[in-house]
Structure 1
Amino acid sequence: MATLAGGAPPPAAATDPGDAVAIVFTSGTTGAPKGAWYTHASLLAVAEIEARRHPGGMPRFQTHLAPGLSFAHVGTMTRIAVQIAHLGRSIIHDAFDPAAVLAAIEGERLTHLGGIPTQLVALLDHPDRPRRNLSSLRSVLVGGAPALPSLIRRIRDELGAEVSVRYSSTEVGIATASVAGDPADLVATTVGRATPGVELRIVDAANRPLPAGETGEVAVRSPATMRGYWRDPEATAATVDAEGWVHTADLGHLDAAGYLHLTGRRSEMYIRGGFNVHPVEVEERLAHHPKVARAAVVGVPHPLHGEVGWAFVVPRDPGEPPTLAELRAFVGTELASFKRPDGLTLVDDVPLTPMFKVDRRALRALMEDSPSPTQP
């Protein structure tokens, strides 16, 4: 810096904790991306709240792998404050390459790994995994999107690592997490409890708090949330209420112990013949079918039922893919009949957004361009 300044000391910069320091863009899965802006104070609050999640304190000098996650993602942006506060080291991969991640775990002897569900599935299914020594892994943090219980169990059983889950979003920064000692069934079926320093509640359409067990919208308030959408006061007012609660558009309920159970996104829910269907529930069931490697479900217009569920499936064996009849029968053994998919498109892979979330708009376009012959 002194060289760049020609030998003169750098000028003093007047900063305020309330100044904007980062703009984190939403993934745009259902609309145009919006820029959530954070202040110095809110990013420091993320680091403080994250430290409270560790009973013995946040580990220092920890190596963190950032495999291809955009720097515009909340996980990367907020991680900057965490790494600086605890003298951590970050390894940055320009793109997410499962083979490179597996090599880094082995070569760096990483003890901790964080990832979005789609990334972790790719690691587990990669042909290099069996030959890599991953014994250094002690913990895996799953976040960024709801994880299926089957994935949580696979990570625990196949990697031998303790699994923790976290719920956050572009708008809230950090919200809930599981902690060491949480029973395995809670880690597999919830996203933990509110981290100390975070307020969490479930509200109805009129913004009234709901009791435990009732499903509604997840609302979060803490010093670590965004201050609003950059230069978009209308969108800000629609998301952050007058009391500072950020309305996430995620649906879920709290149990008696305060654990958050996510149901899905309000914008992703579809209504089939008057009945609400949450794609995540159907996707979880489809993931257990022996012929299914990955699956995604979207609601599409239907002349009789209003909307129906359409399944996009990556077959485990392309030579013997599942049929729509097989999947409908399989889903119907555990879920209500109206939750069975009414259409099926077989795909080589599930399209993702730059933030590694299922791109449901792309799936709808794919169905419209080339409908499956299994369409009823």
Structure 2
Amino acid sequence: MKEKRSDSSLPTLDPDDTALLIETSGSTGKPKLVVHSHRTMLMCGVHLQDSMGFTYHDIVYNERKTQWLGGFPFQYLLNGVTTVTTDYRLESLKEQCMFAYSAMQQEKCNIACLLPVTLHGLPHTALENKSNFILDNIHTGGSPVATICLAVLGVEVKIIGTKGNIVERGQDDEIYARTPAMYKGYHNEFEKTKKSLNESWWFKTDDVGHITLEGELVAHGRVSELIICGSAKVLPVKLEKSLGIIRICTMLL
């Protein structure tokens, strides 16, 4: 029997063509749409595989929303690993931990991508359930990341001064970062993209910090919070600490 041929044709795509729009959390205002290409989508999957060590035999539980970077199943696109996700957020931490614990048991997950707050509450849930359920690996975010992790993922970091020069180690100024999986920009937001990404694809984090002599990155605050007095840059957090000390001394007197 002769097979029927389809008249449809697939478009020719370039690895750097737009493939996905990811929503930001909106922590600094209205959420924006971040543009990712086919290449950066796969690179995100590669980074997740490097950090979690999963294969297509594993079952990954991810409690983040799919429209966010941390919740989109990049790992599934990379090698087809089974991915379990949720479509809503529970109101209390106890309910959230109980749901995650039950879902991972029911779906026989051996790897979990969890928010730090959930990870903090899970041991209590495990003790209450008196279960021997064990995960092989847990992936989390929102906490300080060790330098060795940044090196493995190919993250470059530098501190840039107001004149665009790289400052010496130990000196505070704006933190810039770059990775092979860097997003292409904000969807239909040319000016915001221009402000956050330079021509060499370095991301201007808007964070203030320095790199120690040992190579550790230390963040102190936001560039947008800086108080400029003449040529001096003052961080509000440092002022608050100083004022707190003065207040304590006054109370003691």
| TM-score (normalised: structure 1) | 0.52
> Equivalences for 1:195-214 in 2 at 5 Å?
195-214=152-171
1:230 aligned partner: 187
Instruction: Report if the CA contact (8 A) 1:110-1:136 is conserved.
Output: no
1:338 aligned partner: 243
Aligned partner of 2:60 among 47, 59, 64: 64
- Shift of residue 73 of structure 1? 0.6
Q: Tell me whether 7-16 or 224-233 shows the greater mean CA deviation.
A: 7-16
- Shift of residue 64 of structure 1? 1.4
1:92 aligns with 2:49: no
In the alignment, residue 11 of structure 1 is paired with which amino acid? S
In the alignment, residue 44 of structure 1 is paired with which amino acid? L
Instruction: Report if the CA contact (8 A) 2:24-2:33 is conserved.
Output: yes
Alignment partners' CA distance in 2, 1:115 and 1:84: 20
Would the alpha carbon gap of residues 193 and 138 (structure 1) be closer, same or farther in structure 2, given more than 3 Å must change? same
Would the alpha carbon gap of residues 339 and 206 (structure 1) be closer, same or farther in structure 2, given more than 3 Å must change? farther
2:25 aligned partner: 27
- Shift of residue 44 of structure 1? 1.7
Q: Over aligned residue pairs, what C-alpha RMSD do you find?
A: 3.3
Alignment partners' CA distance in 2, 1:140 and 1:178: 19
Alignment partners' CA distance in 2, 1:262 and 1:115: 24
Higher normalized contact order (CA 8 Å, seq sep 6+, divided by chain length): 2
1:144-188 residue CA offsets vs partner (Å, 9 max, x unmatched): x336xxxxxxxxxxxxxxxxx4xxxxxxxxxxx665xxxxxxxxx
Gap regions ≥5 residues in structure 2: 90-95, 228-232, 248-253
Alignment partners' CA distance in 1, 2:160 and 2:22: 25
Would the alpha carbon gap of residues 116 and 266 (structure 1) be closer, same or farther in structure 2, given more than 3 Å must change? farther
Q: Classify the secondary structure of the residue corresponding to 1:61.
A: coil
Alignment partners' CA distance in 1, 2:234 and 2:157: 28
1:243 aligned partner: 200
Alignment partners' CA distance in 1, 2:55 and 2:171: 37
Q: Classify the secondary structure of the residue corresponding to 2:209.
A: strand
Alignment partners' CA distance in 2, 1:59 and 1:212: 40
Alignment partners' CA distance in 2, 1:22 and 1:98: 30
Instruction: Give the total of aligned pairs.
Output: 231
Aligned partner of 2:127 among 113, 126, 130: 130
- Shift of residue 265 of structure 1? 4.0
Would the alpha carbon gap of residues 115 and 52 (structure 1) be closer, same or farther in structure 2, given more than 3 Å must change? closer
Instruction: Report if the CA contact (8 A) 1:106-1:134 is conserved.
Output: no
Gap regions ≥5 residues in structure 1: 1-5, 148-164, 166-176, 180-191, 280-304, 309-335, 343-376
In the alignment, residue 216 of structure 2 is paired with which amino acid? Y
Alignment partners' CA distance in 1, 2:23 and 2:114: 18
1:146 aligned partner: 143
| TM-score (normalised: structure 2) | 0.74
Alignment partners' CA distance in 1, 2:132 and 2:5: 48
The structure number with the bigger radius of gyration is 2
Alignment partners' CA distance in 1, 2:138 and 2:76: 17
In the alignment, residue 131 of structure 1 is paired with which amino acid? E
Q: Classify the secondary structure of the residue corresponding to 1:217.
A: strand
In the alignment, residue 22 of structure 2 is paired with which amino acid? V
> Equivalences for 1:11-26 in 2 at 5 Å?
11-26=9-24
2:119 aligned partner: 120
Instruction: Report if the CA contact (8 A) 1:28-1:34 is conserved.
Output: yes
Alignment partners' CA distance in 2, 1:53 and 1:200: 19
Identity of aligned residues (%): 22
Would the alpha carbon gap of residues 114 and 263 (structure 1) be closer, same or farther in structure 2, given more than 3 Å must change? farther
Q: Tell me whether 210-219 or 94-103 shows the greater mean CA deviation.
A: 210-219
> Equivalences for 1:18-57 in 2 at 5 Å?
18-53=16-51
Would the alpha carbon gap of residues 263 and 21 (structure 1) be closer, same or farther in structure 2, given more than 3 Å must change? same
In the alignment, residue 71 of structure 1 is paired with which amino acid? T
**4+ residue stretches of structure 1 with deviation over 6 A?**
none
